[in-house]
Structure 1
Amino acid sequence: MGKTLAEKILSEKTKQDVKPGDIVVSPVDWALVQDTTGPLTVREFLGLGLPKLANPAHTILFIDHAAPSPQKQLSCDHTFLRKFARDYGAVLSDVGEGVCHQIMAEKYARPGDVIVGADSHTVTAGGLGAFATGMGSSDVAAAFGLGKTWFRVPETFFIRLTGRLQKYVTAKDIILHLIGSIGADGATYKALEFGGEGLSSLPVPDRLTIANMAVEAGAKVGIFPSDDATLEYLTSQGRAADHRYVAADADARYERTIEIDLNKLQPTIAKPHTVDNTATISEVKGTKVDQVFIGTCTNGRLEDLKLAADILRGKRRNPATRLLVAPASPQIVLAGMRMGYIQDLVQAGATILPPGCAGCLGVHQGVLGDGETCLSTANRNFLGRMGNPEGLIFLSSTATAAASAITGVITDPREVA
């Protein structure tokens, strides 16, 4: 019987003929934490009494969520992680070196890898054909020490993409539409596998955006086949040797198939306070916006800077609306500077934040005031997500966010650009 992409990867790793529902123990290619989950993971690891990391060169500690640190307690957590990395030989990605999920895509993740992280958006690496998932700190601590972990092999939903996106309708609109259609728990512990003829029009940065938010529908993984677009991306990162073609079998069996016609999609918004509380742009346009936030692991890529710059170039943000931009990595910042995107954004009134998570987590760099509304390109809009339960968060694409920064209200980008 043919296998889905998730089943093929786990079969290869475990050297078993796996099927949905099986409990398997799989080797782990990469294990990661970040600075909010990392201290707990490290303490759990130390409590296990294991003498060393199973694979120090593939154990990565990222300091990105509260970077630079806004308070003493978090600074102490950072020094704790730095010391552990030195003592055990783990890889350290320090302040300013980028958001963990973007750096995994740029430097580490490979098609067919199994990746675990103490962060739910570890699923992002599925955009490169990896079986990548978030786990609890205790599970990741065990993976640190053993180099393997257990999974229940997930059933798979096949998301068949057809057609092609219209101008200013983006990959973010695809995933918001899907989550709104199936609900925040509609794919709990399922693999969301994306394919179909429409896939060829989506480059890897778009796939990373979609995979990043698969967990917002409850999915264990969001995964794309590795194809020529994957090779192109890895080549651009100087990692062509890391590429291999990985795809589901032609006769793979799926629990459910969901069709999305890209031609028909409209700019889509997630309204407070859940990601599946979605609406098309026509239903919410005109809503006042106090802050626009573009960036982080969902939409902080070079393509997002370009899209925002193209819309904002020669214009100015609404004086009543703050515009914050957080590129996801130093590579993106430097490329954005070379290509003039950063200059265009600053001239439009944007505040450029250092590579990191910034206001997405609500620790610093964009915390909302009481009653304020933010239109964000991040992945979550839960109550209090941006540091204040009295604030309101709407989620959108970069195009919608940039257009709305100009007008000061939620705006259809097709009407501004």
Structure 2
Amino acid sequence: MAAIESTPEFVNAVYTRTRARLEKVRARLRRPLTLTEKILFGHLADPDRAQLDPGKAYLELKPDRVAMQDATAQMALLQFMLAGMDRTAVPTTVHCDHLILARSGAAADVARAIETNKEVYAFLESASARYGIGFWKPGSGIIHQVVLENYAFPGGMMIGTDSHTPNAGGLGMFASGVGGADAVDVMSGFPWEVLQPKLIGVELTGKLSGWAAPKDVILKLLDILTVKGGTNAVVEFFGPGCASISCTGKGTITNMGAEHGATTSVFPYDARMEIYLRATRRGAIADLAGANRDLLAADPEVAANPEKYFHRVVRIDLSTLEPHLVGPHTPDLARPLSEVPAAVKANGYPAKISAALVGSCTNSSYEDITRAAAVAREALAAGAKARVPLLITPGSEQVFATIERDGLLSVFRDFGATVLANACGPCIGQWQRDDSPKGTPNTIVNSFNRNFPARNDGNPSTLSFIASPEVVVAYSVAGSLEINPVADEIPVDGRTLRLSPPPPAPEVPEKGFVFKADGYVAPAEKPERVAVNVREGSDRLQLLQPFPAWDGNDYADLAVVLKAKGKCTTDHISPAGIWLKYRGHIDNISNNMFSGAVNAFTGEAGKGKHPVTGEVMEFSKIARDLKGRGMRWVAVGDENYGEGSSREHAAMEPRHLGGVAVIARSFARIHETNLKKQG
């Protein structure tokens, strides 16, 4: 077993502290509590004096652990090194999943990544060893799947430097995405400060059937809440329908809660979570959770009268839910599959599918892969294969080894699929795509979580549509959005094929998981002997210097570098893809600043007019030149500015290049915090 820190003793200590703090808060409030409130108030730094006022008061919380992925961990660890500490104050892990470029297949891609990124990996591994951090090597798995398998536990609190950290809410954990500066605070022993969230209750009734999957629950909820409807709120699920969804299915739903802007999403502890805990070698933690069930669900009065305790209540009947497809360009543009062909014609979308992709932190569990393989197996039996390139990304070493043992990988290979590394790959833009030149309009379908322009393949002309893994595989058979693959007859070599709904998949494998943690490196036994590797003159890593302090004077005569039109997500402000290699070098990464942002005056992305010279150039060059002239500047956005990823580079880059303020109608939660943290 990996030397994990979520041991029974650790979890029991969390429950003991939570119970003691809740006793104090209950004495103050004298009312029933939601599950969200139990976890929040159970982690208050000072339960006696904390001001409690949803949407107004800021809470100081003491999370139980921190998780970081390799792209954001670089800047977080560079900041942590300035704190002068010998080790992190809470259990922390680093997971290498973002820097692996999907190109030809798992083994070759991982080997290439290790060589290409050896300097960054050496820094992350040495810093982890030096500061008492668990380190997961490239190829070990996607951060959120590995966390679910090893570290998450019901009723705990975790922050992570990745916006999809709420994945652990599927195991009843309050898990929230943050910027690196917030993580550094907690790693240094300071509280995590966060606006007390409002509460959105989602009541689930009925039971999923047919082609409907857990993914469709969150796609439907995104349709209801939109991409900003959950901002500064926690989505808490309740109702009899919860028990019909597996633990990893719940994780899919809470994972994509990041897309409606929620601080996090969480399910109450139930038998499905217990099954998963026991299947992943954590029976003792399941026993503890069972003995502390009162801490791990809302008080009974909440379900009896939810409108009294939640600021908003949404109800979804799982029995009537249809499979959905969302997109393009935004994850809240949802349609039932039955409406997609008409929408394709009405909007002029390219109907032919150029690629289908299954995986990501949202949908790469054993259950996900099993359901997808069932569709592929049925098609093979009927003499059909994938019509388009199909890429499969397992979530972890454990998932990969288990689906290999159970014959699922051979099904996909016979079906014509390519199995990629256990990593983020195309979901984060790490995809070397040679079949579709940049600027070529085309359509892809995937089981990912975000579909902003250029996010997956660097091509702003690619239309990305999101669905469940089984629906994605069905579309790979159909090859076109003009066919409803779950209802229509699909032409195959002069005949037709109608796909059946995949049978219910086992949430855990019948033979158990093949435990794999070969990529885990425990912290050094003598950390004081470890030297952290940062090469002088590196173009990948750069030691940080604190930004200049405010001089106390008002800002005046500020130039406007950018007025953004429409969406200005963190992908627009600081794209990933080819730029991921510079995430540890603040000066080099700043060359991508606003490269995806659309100029409100010209409609062109990435360029504007220099306010002094009048020359049209890239926004980053304008900002760098103004900084050289000693001129400070601002950027102007629209609504929900900074939506998307937790990457703090989108806040650090403007500050590094001389920006002093961002003006917008509204901000996404994580990005607003990141801007404030960077001054």
Provide the residue aligned with 1:259 in structure 2. Answer: 315
One-letter identity of the residue aligned with 1:395: I
Name the SS of the counterpart of 1:409 in structure 2. Answer: coil
Alpha-carbon contact 1:111-1:226 (below 8 Å) kept? yes
Change (3 A) 1:154 1:254: same
Provide the residue aligned with 2:161 in structure 1. Answer: 118
One-letter identity of the residue aligned with 1:29: D
Provide the residue aligned with 1:384 in structure 2. Answer: 454
CA distance in 2, matches of 1:412, 1:82: 45
One-letter identity of the residue aligned with 1:11: F
Name the SS of the counterpart of 1:159 in structure 2. Answer: strand
**Pairwise CA distance, 1:147:** 6.0
CA distance in 2, matches of 1:337, 1:115: 31
Alpha-carbon contact 2:94-2:134 (below 8 Å) kept? yes
Provide the residue aligned with 2:54 in structure 1. Answer: 20
Identify which of 250, 268, 277 aligns with 2:333: 277
Find out whether 1:198 has 2:241 as its counterpart: yes
One-letter identity of the residue aligned with 2:336: T
CA distance in 2, matches of 1:278, 1:263: 18
Alpha-carbon contact 2:87-2:130 (below 8 Å) kept? no
* Equivalent residues in 2 for 1:68-107, closer than 5 Å: 68=110, 70=113, 74-107=117-150
Find out whether 1:41 has 2:72 as its counterpart: no
Alpha-carbon contact 2:65-2:159 (below 8 Å) kept? yes
Provide the residue aligned with 1:300 in structure 2. Answer: 364
* Equivalent residues in 2 for 1:30-179, closer than 5 Å: 30-55=65-90, 58-67=91-100, 68=110, 70=113, 74-146=117-189, 148-179=191-222
Alpha-carbon contact 1:323-1:350 (below 8 Å) kept? yes
**Pairwise CA distance, 1:24:** 2.1
**Pairwise CA distance, 1:282:** 1.6
User: Which has the bigger relative contact order, CA under 8 A and spacing at least 6?
Assistant: 1
**Pairwise CA distance, 1:48:** 2.8
Provide the residue aligned with 1:180 in structure 2. Answer: 223
Name the SS of the counterpart of 1:251 in structure 2. Answer: helix
**Pairwise CA distance, 1:52:** 2.7
CA distance in 2, matches of 1:382, 1:112: 33
Alpha-carbon contact 2:32-2:301 (below 8 Å) kept? yes
Alpha-carbon contact 1:120-1:215 (below 8 Å) kept? yes
One-letter identity of the residue aligned with 2:314: I
**Pairwise CA distance, 1:276:** 0.5
**Pairwise CA distance, 1:316:** 3.8
CA distance in 2, matches of 1:183, 1:190: 13
**Pairwise CA distance, 1:240:** 1.9
Instruction: Structure 1: give runs of 5+ residues left out of the alignment.
Output: none
329-338 or 283-292: bigger deviation: 283-292
Find out whether 1:356 has 2:406 as its counterpart: no
Change (3 A) 1:258 1:366: farther
Identity of aligned residues (%): 32
CA distance in 1, matches of 2:384, 2:363: 21
**Pairwise CA distance, 1:317:** 3.1
CA distance in 1, matches of 2:435, 2:220: 26
CA RMSD of aligned residues (A): 1.9
Change (3 A) 1:72 1:272: farther
Find out whether 1:222 has 2:265 as its counterpart: yes
Alpha-carbon contact 2:327-2:466 (below 8 Å) kept? yes
**Pairwise CA distance, 1:43:** 1.0
Alpha-carbon contact 2:154-2:171 (below 8 Å) kept? yes
Find out whether 1:310 has 2:401 as its counterpart: no
CA distance in 2, matches of 1:122, 1:104: 9
Name the SS of the counterpart of 1:185 in structure 2. Answer: coil
**Pairwise CA distance, 1:304:** 1.5
Identify which of 248, 259, 268 aligns with 2:298: 248
Provide the residue aligned with 2:486 in structure 1. Answer: 413
**Pairwise CA distance, 1:73:** 6.8
CA distance in 1, matches of 2:485, 2:323: 7
**Pairwise CA distance, 1:72:** 7.2
Provide the residue aligned with 2:650 in structure 1. Answer: none
Provide the residue aligned with 2:607 in structure 1. Answer: none
Name the SS of the counterpart of 2:395 in structure 1. Answer: coil
CA distance in 2, matches of 1:157, 1:367: 44
Provide the residue aligned with 2:613 in structure 1. Answer: none
Q: TM-score, normalised by structure 2?
A: 0.59
Name the SS of the counterpart of 2:188 in structure 1. Answer: helix
CA distance in 1, matches of 2:223, 2:151: 31
Change (3 A) 1:368 1:215: farther
Name the SS of the counterpart of 1:32 in structure 2. Answer: strand
Change (3 A) 1:121 1:66: same
Change (3 A) 1:338 1:318: closer
386-395 or 13-22: bigger deviation: 13-22
Provide the residue aligned with 1:372 in structure 2. Answer: 442
- Aligned residue-pair number: 414
Alpha-carbon contact 2:478-2:485 (below 8 Å) kept? no
239-248 or 177-186: bigger deviation: 239-248
Change (3 A) 1:336 1:308: same
Change (3 A) 1:73 1:337: closer
Provide the residue aligned with 1:10 in structure 2. Answer: 40
Identify which of 258, 272, 276 aligns with 1:233: 276
**Pairwise CA distance, 1:318:** 3.8
Change (3 A) 1:367 1:203: farther
Q: TM-score, normalised by structure 1?
A: 0.95
Alpha-carbon contact 2:88-2:187 (below 8 Å) kept? yes
Alpha-carbon contact 1:61-1:91 (below 8 Å) kept? yes
Bigger-Rg structure (1/2) = 2
One-letter identity of the residue aligned with 2:41: S
Change (3 A) 1:170 1:25: same
215-224 or 148-157: bigger deviation: 148-157
Alpha-carbon contact 1:3-1:249 (below 8 Å) kept? yes
